[in-house]
Every structure is written in C-alpha cells, then in structure tokens.
C-alpha cells in the first residue's frame, strides 16, 4: 500500500464522521422548525440557512423534502419514546398500580400530540408512519404497560385487543382535539375517552378464576414467558392454547 492510499484510507472514516455530524445537525434543525412552525416551516432554504449550509448540500444528504421530513419526524418521536421508556421503567420498578401507569402513559401521549401537532399529523399517513421506527418502539412501550395490567389480573380482554383499542382511542382523541381551535378544546375529553376504553378492557379488581375466567386467562398468558421450566416451544404452545380459549389473541 502506498503512502497516498494510506492517507486516503484514514480520511474516509473522518469524511463519514463529518457527513454524519452534518446530517445530525440538519435533522435536529428540521425537527426544531417542524415543532415550532409546522411542515410549512421545513423548507430546503430555511433548514439549510438555520443549519449553516447551502441548499444544494441538503440534497447530498436527503433525496427530497419528504425524506427530510421523515428524518425530522423520526427524531421528534425518538426523543419522546426515549422519555416514555425511562418513565415506564421507573414506574415498573416502583409500586405504582399498573392501571395508573397505563393512564399516565395515555396522558403523556396526548400531551405530546398536542405539543407536536405537525409531527403527529404526519404520522397519521400510514405510508409515512411505516418510515418512523420510533412509532413501533412507542407501541412496544404501550404493550409493556398493557402486559403489566394483564399480569395483575386487571385485563378483561386479550392484550392485543386492549393495545389496539387504546391506540385507536388515543389517535382519535388527538385528531378531534387538533381539529378545533385551542380555545374550543375540551380539556377533559381525552380523560373521558380513556375512562370509556378502560371500562371495556379492565376489571375492577384482580380476578380469581372463579370470579372472571377471561381475566384470569389473560393474566396467566402475561405470565407464561416468565415460567422458568418451560422451553420456548412449550411456552409458545401453552400461549396458543390459552389464546384459543379466549378466541385467539
């Protein structure tokens, strides 16, 4: 290897690092403009100027404005989900009622959507939502909260049904609130909707098999992965049997 090729090889990682730093700066800038001014604020010229670049430089990092918006939305949601995961871990480590944890997570999500309407509405497009991995991680936080409710014997329906109902209700609540001027928004609407969903998916108290078979089966399914003497195949088979008893997950 010649001296020139050795130098070129050393420069390549440095060049990639500079490119990643520039991309990160651009994404953070676009995310800030999106949060502060909505999608109309995220223009190539505005982002480039705020990031200290010339507009052509952005096209070496992103194919078009949509790609830049995708990255900005991912950044906004990633920060939100990281905070949710931290809060969920703290709650799980304490003695807080899992239903109270679920309600707290709902309120956090509603507050995020109201504070970041542009990012939320962009992910309402299923195509764009599929380009936002942080959304999938956020759904996993919800599943973890629902699983703790199930393990406590408080869930009256299958876990996935509860997750789907809560997610659909939260999305609907935010769409309804964001469609109204701030002064006309009912501050109690989201909580009332959570209460309505809770009545359809929760039991009033931990259920015994003789009290509520469905809730007991759901609770047991939540505990199956923790049974130490079962192999993965045996645990999967037991979960399948229990799901068949509930009419499937």
Q: Which residues pair with 202 in a beta bridge?
A: 155
Return d(Cα 56, Cα 49) in angstroms, integer: 11
203 vs 201: CA distance, rounded Å: 7
**DSSP of 64-78, one letter per residue?**
SHHHHHHHHHHHHHH
**pLDDT for res 241:** 62
The confidence score (pLDDT) of residue 125 equals 82
CB within 8 A of 166, min separation 6: which ones? 102, 106, 142, 146, 194, 197, 201
Per-residue pLDDT tens over the stretch 9-67: 444 677 788 889 999 999 999 999 999 999 999 999 999 999 999 989 998 899 888 99
In this prediction the pTM is: 0.74
Q: What SS3 state is found at 36?
A: helix
Q: What local confidence, expressed as pLDDT, does residue 80 receive?
A: 94
CA distance 138 to 223: 22
pLDDT under 70: residue ranges of the chain:
1-12, 91-95, 205-230, 233-249
| Cβ atoms 212, 164 nearer than 8 A | no
Polymer length in residues for the chain: 249
Give 206: exposed, middle or buried? Use CB within 10 Å, 0-12, 13-18, 19+: middle
Q: What is the pLDDT of residue 232?
A: 72
pLDDT at residue 225, as a whole number: 67
Beta strands in 13-155 (DSSP E): none
């Amino acid at each position: 290897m010649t001296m020139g090729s050795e130098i070129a090889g050393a420069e390549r990682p440095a060049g990639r690092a500079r490119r990643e730093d520039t991309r990160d700066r651009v994404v953070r800038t676009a995310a800030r403009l999106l949060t502060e001014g909505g999608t109309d604020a995220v223009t190539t010229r505005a982002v480039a100027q705020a990031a200290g670049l010339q507009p052509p430089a952005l096209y070496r990092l992103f194919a078009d404005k949509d790609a830049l918006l995708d990255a900005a939305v991912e950044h906004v949601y990633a920060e939100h989900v990281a905070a949710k995961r931290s809060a969920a871990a703290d709650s799980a480590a304490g003695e807080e009622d899992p239903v109270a944890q679920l309600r707290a997570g709902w309120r956090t999500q509603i507050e995020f959507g109201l504070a970041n309407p542009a990012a939320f509405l962009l992910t309402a497009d299923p195509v764009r939502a599929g380009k936002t991995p942080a959304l999938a991680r956020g759904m996993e936080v919800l599943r973890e909260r629902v699983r703790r409710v199930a393990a406590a014997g408080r869930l009256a329906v299958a876990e996935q049904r509860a997750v789907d109902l809560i997610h659909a209700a939260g999305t609907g609540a935010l769409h309804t609130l964001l469609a109204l001027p701030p002064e006309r928004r009912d501050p109690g609407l989201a909580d009332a909707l959570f209460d309505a969903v809770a009545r359809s998916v929760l039991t009033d108290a931990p259920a015994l098999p003789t009290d509520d078979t469905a809730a007991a089966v759901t609770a047991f399914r939540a505990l199956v992965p923790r049974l130490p003497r079962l192999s993965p195949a045996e645990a999967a088979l037991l979960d399948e049997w229990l799901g068949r008893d509930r009419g499937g997950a």
